[in-house]
Amino acid sequence: MAYHGAEFLGWQRQALGRTVQGVLESSLATWLRTEVAVVGVGRTDAGVHARNYVAHLEVDRELDAGEMLFRLNRFLPPDVVLLEAVPVDESVHARFSAVARGYSYRIQRQKSVFGRDTSWFYERELNETLLHEMAASVLGEHHFGAFERSGGAKTNGCCTLHRAQWVVADDALEFQVEGNRFLRNMVRSLVGTMVEQAVADRGLAEWNRVFSSQKRTESGPSAPAQGLTFAGAHFAVPLFDGRENPHFI
C-alpha cells in the first residue's frame, strides 16, 4: 500500500486523531462488517509518507484478494491506496518477518509549486562531497544514539545499514537508506545533521565527532517530516515477487 502522510498523525492507531492504521481498519470493518486489527511493517511519524508499505491482517474466513483490492480502494480515502493483496500463512508477520527496511528523504533545491508536500525545500549551498562522505561513514553496524529521539525509553542503539547514499537528480537530492532496524526519528535526524554540517562545510572530522558522541544533544535538528518516505521492506521470503522491496528514484 501507499499513503500520503500530510493529513495523518502517523501510521499507528491513536485514541484521538487520524492515522493510517485507523483509516485502514475502519475501511475493512465497513467491508467485512466486523472489527479487524491490522499490523504494519513499522511506524511512521506524523507527516511521513509511504510508497511501498506492507501490512497484514488475520480473518476467520477466506477472502478473495482481487475483490479485497477492488472493494477497499473504494472505501479508502484518496490519500491511501492498496496496491496489492495476497494470501499468506500464519508464519508471515508484517513487522517481525521483515529483515530490512528502507527510507528515502528528498530535498528540493529550487522553489517549485509542485512537490512541496513531499520534499524539503532547501536552497542554500551544500558541500555535496561532504554529504557523500558522511553517508559512506554510516554504512555497516554502528551505534546511532546521536540520532535517536531524546526523551524516550533507552533502547539498543546499534543498527546495521546496508545502504546509505545521497543521489543527485536534476534539482533535487535524495538520501537513500536501508537497514536492519531504525531508531525513532533516526533518518530525519541523520538528514538534518548532515545538511547542517554540509552547509557550514565543517568537514568529516567534525561529523565523526558528532557521530561517535552517541548524544542527541551533539547532533543537529531533525529534517522536516514531509521529505521522508517509507520506501519498502525486505522479507526472507518475498511476498509480492519482490515488489515490497524498497523503491528509490
pTM assigned to the model: 0.94
Instruction: Determine the Cα–Cα distance for residues 171 and 126; give it in Å rounded to an integer.
Output: 13
pLDDT tens digits, residue range 4-40? 999 999 999 998 899 999 999 999 999 999 999 999 9
Question: Do 248 and 229 contact (CB within 8 A), yes or no?
Answer: no
Q: Please report the domains of the chain, with CATH numbers, ordered by start residue.
A: 2-96 (3.30.70.580), 100-230 (3.30.70.660)
Instruction: Determine the Cα–Cα distance for residues 95 and 61; give it in Å rounded to an integer.
Output: 23
pLDDT tens digits, residue range 57-77? 998 888 899 999 999 999 999
Question: Do 19 and 12 contact (CB within 8 A), yes or no?
Answer: yes
Neighbours of 191 (CB within 10 A): 28
- pLDDT surpassing 70 at residue 153: no
Question: Do 196 and 221 contact (CB within 8 A), yes or no?
Answer: yes
Q: Which three cell numbers stand for residue 168?
A: 543527485
The mean pLDDT of the chain is 94
Look at residues 56, 122, 109, 119 and name the one whose alpha carbon lies nearest to residue 86.
56
**Annotated active-site residue in 45, 60, 64, 79:** 45
Q: Which three cell numbers stand for residue 231?
A: 520506501
- Write down the number of H helices and E strands in the chain: 5, 11
CA 208 to chain centre: 25
* CB contact burial 113-145 (16+ within 10 A = b; e otherwise): eeeeebbbeeeeebbeebbebbbeebeeebebb
pLDDT of 149: 87
Instruction: Determine the Cα–Cα distance for residues 212 and 205; give it in Å rounded to an integer.
Output: 11
Instruction: Determine the Cα–Cα distance for residues 2 and 41; give it in Å rounded to an integer.
Output: 13
For residue 151, name the pLDDT band (cuts at 50, 70, 90): low
For residue 148, name the pLDDT band (cuts at 50, 70, 90): very high
Q: Answer yes or no: 241 catalytic.
A: no
Look at residues 129, 130, 122 and name the one whose alpha carbon lies nearest to residue 106.
122
pLDDT tens digits, residue range 187-232? 999 999 999 999 999 999 999 999 999 999 999 999 999 999 999 9
Q: Which three cell numbers stand for residue 35?
A: 472489527
Question: How confident is the model over 148-166, as a mean pLDDT?
Answer: 85
Residues 6+ apart with CB under 8 A from 242: none
Dihedral of CA atoms 180, 185, 188, 190 in degrees, nearest 10, equals -60
- pLDDT surpassing 60 at residue 169: yes
Say how many residues make up the chain: 249
Instruction: Determine the Cα–Cα distance for residues 204 and 194; give it in Å rounded to an integer.
Output: 10
